[in-house]
Homo-oligomer: A and B are copies of this chain.
């Protein structure tokens, strides 16, 4: 059912958005299973670990053209490779953080990125006090240095951790400099050319959503887990 091109990598077209957003979840569960030495896993078990239901797991995995074995389940290692490949994680994507305030610094020190293929490789700030200082052995540079840094270090992901008023400008400079995807933590809407994937994380927004469900006798929250 799923086309493979030439017998090689086979990057599948059009995985539904909802599925894409769950793949990292499955990946995390598979890593855990692998580290425990489990060699196969059923959709039911994987669903439990990922906090979704089994039908969803099977449908999602079917979009990868994936290989389960009826009556047995999925091969953990194989599936892990498939998922990683679908997400494009076979190659590292070096990250630059712009805005070394509280949040930027916390993100810089947060271990979870390096280990998952997103080495943090450059820092940018506009405060002359900060420029030239080092963080984790990496120099903090000026926004004007970004094009050079993208070149030299192959930066591909930009994280915006600036105040809201600076975010659009930073995004524009990132795009100009050749950054290829952007994660925005500033609490404001920014716009970028359609070929640049953009996601946002807004902390206050999350609390407000919780507030809604708390206020009413919430039964479920959708974005479960």
Contacts and interface: CB of A to CB of B under 8 A. Distances in A.
Interface string A17-61: 100110111011000000000000000000001110000000000
Interface in A188-210: 188-191, 194-210
Contacts of A20: 209, 212-213
Contacts of A180: 214
Contacts of A183: 206-207, 210
Contacts of A216: 11, 13, 88
A30 to B, nearest CB: 13
Interface stretch (A65-73, A109-117, A145-153): A109-117
Nearest to A161: B106
A8 interface: no
A197 to B, nearest CB: 4
A79 interface: no
Contacts of A198: 221, 224-225
Nearest to A208: B24
A87 interface: yes
B194 A220 contact: yes
7 contacts: A24-B204, A27-B208, A102-B110, A103-B106, A197-B210, A198-B224, A200-B225
